[in-house]
Amino acid sequence: VAECFAMSGVRGHSTGGTIHIIVNNQIGFTTNPRFARSSPYPSDIAKMVEAPILHCNGDDPEAVVHCARIATEFRQQFNRDVVIDMICYRRFGHNEGDEPSFTQPMMYKKIKQHPTTLNVYGEKLIKEGVITAEEFNKNKKEFKNLLDEQLKTAKEYKPKLEWFEGVWSRYKPTRGQDKRGVTGVTVDTIKEIGKRITYIPEDFNVHPTIRKIFENKKKMFENGTGFDWATAEQLAFATLLEEGTPVRLSGQDSGRGT
């Protein structure tokens, strides 16, 4: 996350804006916030790029959807990062062996007394006359039945191994056969590429140090010995391009030519 924010405005590395969603259950596994960070909110890291931060109540689905729409519109309009901090809680432990009341007894005493988000929102819709209590209970029962059916189906499901399908089929290992193919190129191809990567136009005023590097590279191709890592990488990239495979270089070293 920190790297995503840090690179969000860097040319060549920006994602065009990222929507960061924090499911803020107010504890990290069993760690209280004051022991987990030095800032008041988990979203404060977004202030490094002045990204908008939207705080919403996880018990209010309409507020969450409203924030999601604002965040999406902002990202699409300005191509910048935006954060949704959905403040909620974890009703049970972080795994089947965790009893959260051991580490947060007061908090989980309140959580046990607190109705679920489903019931909170359901009662709101009933009071507003959007649905009746009968419709709410019917929908809840039907959805539970659907989950039970899917759980039963999942236990009987046998996955099909599709690791080497489609474009990966040529890499599928076959017993006793090497499917890597021939990746080498001819000596003539290497020499031709060598001429291109060591060529300096006559009207180009090149730095003396760079000229010497190019002269040394020419000797490598003329003598067929002394190839360094940089030249080997150039050959690797050039032969890929020759075959029609695109190559993207990024970062300070590639920009500087080192």
Which whole number is the average pLDDT over 243-251?
86
Does 226 or 166 have the greater pLDDT score?
A: 226
Residue 177 has pLDDT above 80, yes or no: no
Over residues 99-152, the pLDDT tens digits come to: 888 889 999 999 999 999 999 999 999 999 999 999 999 999 999 999 999 999
Query: Angle between the 187-197 and 229-242 helix axes, to the nearest 10 degrees?
Result: 110
Over residues 54-113, the pLDDT tens digits come to: 999 999 999 999 999 999 999 999 999 999 999 999 999 888 778 888 889 999 999 999
The domains found in the chain, sorted by start residue, are: 2-141 (3.40.50.970), 187-247 (no CATH)
The percentage of the chain sitting over the pLDDT mark of 90, rounded to a whole number, equals 66
pTM: 0.70
Does 171 or 93 have the greater pLDDT score?
A: 93
